[in-house]
Structure 1
Amino acid sequence: MKIAIAGGTGFVGKKLTDYLLEQSHEVLILTRNAAKTSDHPRLHFVEWFKANSAPEIELQEVDAVINLAGESLNSGRWSEARKRRILESRVTATKEIVRILSSLPKKPKVLLNASAVGIYGTSESETFTEETTQIGNDFLANTVSAWEQKANEASHLGVRTCFLRLGVVLGAGGGALTRMVLPYQFFIGGTIGSGKQWLSWIHIDDVVKGIDFLLQHETVSGPVNFTAPNPVRMKEFGQTAGSVLHRPHWLPVPGFALQLLLGEMSILVLEGQNVLPKKLVENGFSFTFDTVEKALTDIFER
């Protein structure tokens, strides 16, 4: 397949690109840096968001588009300016992708657009699947909702569209995990906040496998939860991380301290949601890492 990726140089994007190339696909990465080149014969960089750039010219005959673009939620305290950048980076990139799709005489078969489980809002008692219609009322939920609404315009062009509602992606060398386990590296790890908040997580290898699965399964569309089938409460995650790292789990981190330190961004660790990957499971997807112990053991002992 000929596959275009926006956000192909990020944490998930790099892993996905390597996997797709190993599977003999041709990959075109949308980039603002026109100087980027590749020695790989099936990896190409396509300029976008630059004056006079016309990425649609090079995306003719593309079979699939994967949109992972957007400023990281973990990039710093959520000031009003940063929240605007988080929202605008996602919506603007998706708007440009829809424009590109609309200009192509031959449409790709599918758009896989990144999203997040944050759309459901937070709860310690509810369980969320793709059949859940409620949307939260916090900043993250509103951002994801606007993001998905813009991506859904591709479906009106006749392009099968999937929203990849990602949980916390666990993997080496990036994402939130490094910060989450840092206290354990210094022997001061412990329960964060109440410890009762849910963590809906997924190993990065299963994210990549899941994307490949959706490329092949043409009957799946709409929201798809990218979370492992066994979410855990934060206390259990911490205990498991301590066990895998051979570090104690003893020093609790009060919620109010994180609120003072992170402000509104503290919602990422102090609140959560129990999200199940019903659509992936019902369509036959098999998770390599279905428990957090398996995932963390693989990451830290690989």
Structure 2
Amino acid sequence: MKIAITGGTGFVGNVLSEELLKHGHELFILTRNPDKQSAHENITFIGWMTEGATPETHLDGINAFINLAGESINSGRWTEERKRRILASRIEATQEALRIIRNLENKPASFINASAIGIYPSSVSRTYTEASTEQSEDFLGQTVQIWEREAGRAREMGLRVAFMRFGIVLGKGGGALPKMAIPYKLFAGGPVGSGEQWMSWIHIQDIAKGISYTLQHEDIEGPVNLTAPHPLQMNEFGKVLGEVLGRPHWLPVPSLALKAAMGDMSTLVLDGQKVIPEVLLNHGFEFEYPDLKEALQAIYK
């Protein structure tokens, strides 16, 4: 396949690119700085979202378009300006991706758009699958709703659309794990908030494989939960993290302290959802890291 990717030089994008190259695909990575990227066989870097850029002139005949672009939600306090940028970066990138597709004479068959499980309301008692209709009305929930609605417009051009709803991505060098591990490395790890909130996590390698699997299976469309099949509550998650790092799990972190330090961003660790990847499981996808201990051992080995 010939595949266009936005956000292909980011934390998830790099791992996804490696996975797709293993399957023999040809990649066209859209980036604001194509000249700064290292040359790689079967990867073409194309400028986009800059003045005068016309990526569509290089993309006619691609088979799929993967949109991962958007400002990270993990780096920095959520000021009102930052919230505006988080939302705007996703909508503007998605609109530009759709503009590019609209201008292609030979359009791709599939539009695979990043999304997030933040669309589901926080709950200790509920279990969410792709069939769940409840939607959160907090900042993350509204952001995902607007984002998916925009990406869904690709259907008007006859494309299959899949919304890849990322859970908490665990991997080296990015995502939430490095910050979560700091207290444990300082021998100060312990229950966060109530400790009952759900952590629907996924190893970054399974993110890449799940997206690749969705590309190959044309009957998969709509919401796709990218979470491991065995979510854990925060207290259990912390115990496993401490065990893998060889550190104690003992010092509680009160909710009020986190809210004071992180503001609205504290919702990422104080609130949670129990999310099951029913679509992938029903289609026969096999997770490389279905259990947290194995996933963390692979990361920290």
Same fold (TM over 0.5): yes
Distance 2:85 2:159 in 1: 28
Distance 2:299 2:36 in 1: 30
C-alpha contact 2:8 2:30 (8 A) present in aligned 1? yes
Q: Give the Å deviation of 1:109.
A: 1.3
1:202 maps to 2:188: no
Report the 3-state secondary structure (helix = DSSP H, G, I; strand = E; otherwise coil) of the residue aligned with 2:36.
Answer: coil
C-alpha contact 2:19 2:212 (8 A) present in aligned 1? no
TM-score (norm 1): 0.98
- In structure 2, give the amino acid aligned to 1:19: E
Distance 1:240 1:151 in 2: 37
Matches within 5 A, 1:1-302: 1-301=1-301
Report the 3-state secondary structure (helix = DSSP H, G, I; strand = E; otherwise coil) of the residue aligned with 1:164.
Answer: strand
Q: Give the Å deviation of 1:55.
A: 0.6
Distance 2:196 2:255 in 1: 12
1:9-50 deviation per Cα after TM superposition (whole angstroms, max 9, x unaligned): 111001111222232211111011142344223111111111
C-alpha contact 1:38 1:44 (8 A) present in aligned 2? no
Report the 3-state secondary structure (helix = DSSP H, G, I; strand = E; otherwise coil) of the residue aligned with 1:35.
Answer: helix
C-alpha contact 1:225 1:279 (8 A) present in aligned 2? yes
Q: Give the Å deviation of 1:105.
A: 1.2
Distance 1:2 1:53 in 2: 20
Which runs of 5 or more residues in structure 1 are unaligned? Answer: none
C-alpha contact 2:192 2:235 (8 A) present in aligned 1? yes
Q: What is the alpha-carbon root mean square deviation over aligned residues?
A: 0.9
Distance 1:205 1:199 in 2: 18
Report the 3-state secondary structure (helix = DSSP H, G, I; strand = E; otherwise coil) of the residue aligned with 1:224.
Answer: strand
Q: Give the Å deviation of 1:179.
A: 0.4
Which runs of 5 or more residues in structure 2 are unaligned? Answer: none
C-alpha contact 1:115 1:165 (8 A) present in aligned 2? yes
C-alpha contact 1:37 1:44 (8 A) present in aligned 2? no
1:256-281 deviation per Cα after TM superposition (whole angstroms, max 9, x unaligned): 00000001110000000000000000
After TM superposition, the structure 1 stretch with the greater mean CA deviation from structure 2, 228-237 or 45-54, is 45-54
- In structure 1, give the amino acid aligned to 2:193: G
Q: Give the Å deviation of 1:172.
A: 1.2
Distance 2:66 2:186 in 1: 38
Distance 1:203 1:158 in 2: 32
After TM superposition, the structure 1 stretch with the greater mean CA deviation from structure 2, 23-32 or 254-263, is 23-32
Return structure 1 stretches of 4+ with deviation > 6 angstroms. none
1:101-120 deviation per Cα after TM superposition (whole angstroms, max 9, x unaligned): 11111111111100000001
Distance 2:283 2:118 in 1: 23
Distance 2:39 2:7 in 1: 19
- In structure 2, give the amino acid aligned to 1:123: S
C-alpha contact 1:36 1:45 (8 A) present in aligned 2? no
CA 1:258–1:37 in 2, change beyond 3 Å: closer, same or farther? closer
Distance 1:37 1:77 in 2: 29
- In structure 1, give the amino acid aligned to 2:185: Q
- Quick one: percent identity of the two aligned structures? 53
TM-score (norm 2): 0.98
Report the 3-state secondary structure (helix = DSSP H, G, I; strand = E; otherwise coil) of the residue aligned with 2:45.
Answer: strand
Distance 1:298 1:34 in 2: 32
Distance 2:172 2:52 in 1: 38
Distance 1:230 1:101 in 2: 37
- In structure 1, give the amino acid aligned to 2:213: F
1:225-258 deviation per Cα after TM superposition (whole angstroms, max 9, x unaligned): 0001110000000000011111111111111000
Report the 3-state secondary structure (helix = DSSP H, G, I; strand = E; otherwise coil) of the residue aligned with 2:241.
Answer: helix
C-alpha contact 1:190 1:238 (8 A) present in aligned 2? yes
Report the 3-state secondary structure (helix = DSSP H, G, I; strand = E; otherwise coil) of the residue aligned with 2:105.
Answer: coil
1:40-84 deviation per Cα after TM superposition (whole angstroms, max 9, x unaligned): 231111111111111111111111111110000012111000000
Report the 3-state secondary structure (helix = DSSP H, G, I; strand = E; otherwise coil) of the residue aligned with 1:53.
Answer: coil
Aligned residues: 301
After TM superposition, the structure 1 stretch with the greater mean CA deviation from structure 2, 15-24 or 218-227, is 15-24
C-alpha contact 2:112 2:162 (8 A) present in aligned 1? yes
